[in-house]
Structure 1
Amino acid sequence: MKTLGFDEETMIIREARSGDEAAIRKVETAAFEQSMEAELVEALDAAGDTVLSLVAEEGGKIVGHVLFSRLRSPEGCLALAPIGVLPERQKRGIGSALIREGLARLAKADWKALFLLGYPDYYRRFGFSVEAAERFETGYPKEATMVLELAEGGLGGCSGPIVYAPAFEMFE
């Protein structure tokens, strides 16, 4: 558990646990103004594809969430998706804190790389690269497909398709 100060409030980042499901659903639905991302979280959890699920909690209330799940390909790689913060708590560093904590925890594990689909201008600050992902095949927009090696040389000369867990098919 990590504690950080935001706007004179105390925020705790911790692993999601049983009983957090409704609050996580609320965060993801509010952040994306639809329920699809919340349904993705639930489907990944139900299928056993969740590797790490973190929440940001302020005053006992969950205000942010990030999920890291297994990819089918490349082997030993993960996906970051979704990440959501309640709209009234956005632009205060909560999403960044969740990502940084997730990266720190995953760096201690035996994962090769982390893929995501998002805004390059935002994710480059964490080390994600569109250029490094160019050699991988995906049905998603290439200009928004990024990767970050979690282990030095983790991807080596690896290339080929990026195959997300089956739950992601709801986005196709």
Structure 2
Amino acid sequence: MVIVPETPNHRDRIRALLLGAFPSAAEADLVERLHADSDAVISLIALRDEQVIGQAMFSRMIAPFKALALAPVAVALPWRRQRVASRLIENGLQRARDSGWEGVFVLGDPAFYHCFGFRAGLARPFSSPYAGPHLMALALKGGALPILSGQIRHAAAFSAMG
């Protein structure tokens, strides 16, 4: 398995992966809209014999510092529980650090995202339509976010999900 940045040639295979990984087309449509709106910043895929078996996307947020949102993360059913998602996320977080981003927000299962350093407590002081125990943040520089509260907003494509 290799982790590489997606290219336009991968888009149909990514859409097929997302349609198979989620109960509706919402996440596949989200990825397409993030690309169309130029809000996709880092989009990585896991390839096995040229087959797209996983994908993770980091998109631009409106925040009081340079922040990304991590979503969606998907892995084809036969490849789950084999660290595909973990490798995609770890690779994406390193790319975000290397590119000067200061923090990442994710909405998901705390038990899973905690192992990457995401904490609900870091996200709690931020105002967001997604506020709650499943909204978590990760500081990418020095262990602390540069600003500890304020309003955050995901890219417009997220609100279109309904």
TM-score class, shorter: over 0.9
2:147 and 2:7 map into 1 onto residues whose CA distance is 37
In structure 1, the partner of 2:128 is 138
* 1:74 paired residue among 64, 69, 74: 64
- Whether the aligned pair in 2 keeps the contact of 1:127 and 1:148 (CA below 8 Å) is yes
In structure 1, list runs of 5 or more residues that go unmatched. 1-10
Correspondence for 1:37: 27
Instruction: Name the aligned partner's letter for residue 65 of structure 2.
Output: E
Q: Relative to 1, partners in 2 of residues 1:153 and 1:126: Cα closer, same or farther, differing over 3 Å?
A: closer
| Greater share of residues in strand | 1
User: What whole-Å deviation, never above 9, does each CA across 1:112-162 have from its counterpart, x for those lacking one?
Assistant: 100010000000000000011111111224110000011126523431122
Paired with 1:55 and 1:157, the residues of 2 have a C-alpha distance of 31
| 1:109 pairs with 2:99 | yes
The DSSP-based 3-state class of the residue aligned with 2:138 is strand
Once the two structures are superposed, the pairs formed by residues 1-172 of structure 1 within 5 Å of their partners are 11-152=1-142, 155-172=145-162
- The answer to whether the 8 Å contact 1:74/1:163 transfers is no
Letter of the 2:30 counterpart? L
| Two-structure CA RMSD over aligned residues (Å) | 1.3
Alignment match, 1:7: none
**Contact 1:63–1:85 (Cα < 8 Å) also in 2:** yes
What is the TM-score normalised by the length of structure 1? 0.90
Deviation of residue 171 (structure 1)?
Answer: 2.9
Letter in 2 for 1:54: L
For 1:56-99, what per-residue CA distance to the aligned partner results, in whole angstroms no more than 9, with x for missing partners?
00011010000000001233100000000111211111001100
Give the number of aligned pairs.
162
Q: How high is the TM-score relative to the length of structure 2?
A: 0.95
Identity of aligned residues (%): 36
Please list every run of at least 4 consecutive aligned residues from structure 1 whose deviation after the TM superposition is greater than 6 angstroms: none
SS of equivalent residue, structure 2 residue 2: strand
The letter for the 1-side match of 2:31 is V
* Unmatched runs of 5 consecutive residues or more in structure 2: none
Q: Distance in 1 between matches of 2:98 and 2:136?
A: 21
Say which SS state the counterpart of residue 24 (structure 1) adopts: helix
1:171 alignment partner, SS class = coil
